[in-house]
Amino acid sequence: MHHIGIIGGGAWGTALAASAVRAGRKVTLWALEDEVVSAVNIRHENTLYLPGIPLDPALRATGDMAEAAAADAILLVAPAQHMRAVAGQLVDAGADAPLVICSKGVEQKTLALMSDVLSDVAPGADIAVLSGPTFAAELARNLPTAVTLAARDEALGGRLIEALGHNRFRPYLSHDVVGAQIGGAVKNVLAIAAGIVAGARLGDNAAAALITRGLAEIMRLGQALGAQRETLMGLSGLGDLVLTCGSTQSRNMSLGKALGEGRALAEILGERRSVAEGVFTASGVAALADRHEIEMPICGAMDRVLNHGAVVTDEIDALLSRPFKLETL
C-alpha cells in the first residue's frame, strides 16, 4: 500500500493526507473545490479548511477522481450524507482498492451506516473503518493521535495500519466494523447537547452527567445493532465522546454552545462552511432508536431541536423532569 488516495479535501481529509505523507506514502488528495486543489499544490496549505498549517510539498491534490481512484487504498472522508454519491463516482472512476471509511454519521434517508452504504454502492469491496478522538488541526500539526482501525479481515487491517501508522498516528486494530461507526456517529449528536449545556451555563456537573448518560445511549444502540461493548468503551466510542463533548474545537460542540446561548440554528449554519454532522445524524439516530425500541432521550431531544423546531429550554426542562430510575445502561 504505497499509494494512498483520500477522497475529501476538508480539514479531516487534509489532516489524514498530511499524516499519510509522514508515514512515507505517496498521497493523492481529491477535493471538490478548485481553490483547495490549487492552494495545496501551489501554496502547500489548505487555505479554505486548515489555514495556517503548512503541508508537505509531496502531497498532491487533484480534482480528477480517477487520479485518486488509482491508489492502493482509498480513505473516504466525504460527509456522511454525500457518501453514497461520492462513492458512486469513485466506483465509476475504476476504483478497486480497499475502502476506508473516515466519516461519521448515519444516512438520513435509509438509516444505513456508512459500511452498508459502501456495500450497496461497491459490492465486493474490502471495507475498513477509521475512527476515534481526532481534531483535524492537531493531527495536521503532527500532535500525537490514536484511533481505532476496524476491519473484518485481520490481514487487511494489518496492512492498513502498517501503511498509515507512525509514532504520532497510532491505529489500534479492531474487528468490530459496526461498533467503530456507532460511537463516532452518535457522539456528534451528543456533542451538540454538550455544547448546549455549556452555552446555557448549566455547569460542570451537568456536563459530566451528559457525557455519562450519553455513553449509555451509545451502548444501547450498539447492543441493538450488534456492536461489541469493548469497542464502544474504546477510542472510537468513549474516547471520541469525551474529546468531542469537551472542546469547542468540535464543530458540533461549538454549534450546540451557540444554540445554548440562544442563537437560531439557521443563523449558526449560515455562518459556516464546514459540516456539523450531528445536525443530520440526529434524525437518523432517533429513528433507529424508535425502530429498535430503545431509550435515547438525549438524542431524541436533539432531533426535536435540530429538525422539528423544538425550543432548547423546553427540551432541557423535559430531560430534567424525567422519572428517577435505576442507573443502568
Look at strands 127-131 and 145-151 and give their pairing.
antiparallel
Strand order across the 127-131 sheet: 60-62, 26-30, 3-7, 73-76, 99-101, 127-131, 145-151, 169-174
State CA 46 to chain mean position distance: 20
Who contacts 15 (Cβ-Cβ below 8 Å, separation ≥6)? 50, 134, 136, 137, 139, 140
Residue of 104, 187, 257, 325 marked active site:
187
Distance in angstroms (rounded) separating the CA atoms of residues 16 and 46: 13
Q: Name the nearest CA neighbour of 83 among 107, 109, 49.
A: 107
Query: Is 104 among the catalytic positions?
Result: no
Q: Name the nearest CA neighbour of 190 among 114, 264, 286.
A: 286
Helices and strands counted in the chain (H then E):
16, 8
Amino acid at 312: V
C-alpha cell at 128: 475498513
Q: List the catalytic residues.
A: 187
